Amino acid sequence: MNFQAIFIVYIICELFELFYVQKGETLNAYMTNLLEMYERGIVRFLCMHPSFYAAIFAAIYFDNFSFLIVGLIILKALDIILKLILLDKIIKTKPLGIFAQMLERDMPLNFPLKAALTLFYAVVFYINFNA
């Protein structure tokens, strides 16, 4: 398997997350979507983040554990962990701290912002393995 094939799979995984997992025009709609996935099961929720697993696979397959790919994997893991912590607090009705203010304001999440993050991850992935 060559880099181009793995990169295309990674891009598809990122696009899946962008259009399916990150649905919602506002922060509340986004969190509601995540909560629905979380309530269906933790395994399903974790499976909804395939780019995390694709990055781990690429690092192992190419035996490349450089700063960029490890940083990318850590960022993705922290993203998933933060979502799980927030969802757990929402379900148990615990105080959310600073996140409560963001949910009260119902901050808009526009598409270019979400797409920029997806593009950032893809560029880091590309630079790491193709440089």
User: Are 28 and 103 a contacting pair, CB within 8 Å?
Assistant: yes
> How high is the mean pLDDT in each 10-residue block of the chain (131 residues)?
93 95 88 92 94 96 94 96 91 82 82 91 93 68
pLDDT in tens, 58-75: 999 999 999 999 999 999
Residue spans of the domains in the chain: they are 3-130
Give exposure, 67-93, as e/b (b: 16+ Cβ within 10 Å).
eebeebbebbeeeeeebeebbeebeee
Tokens 């259009």 sit on residue: 19
pLDDT in tens, 71-94: 999 999 999 999 999 999 888 888
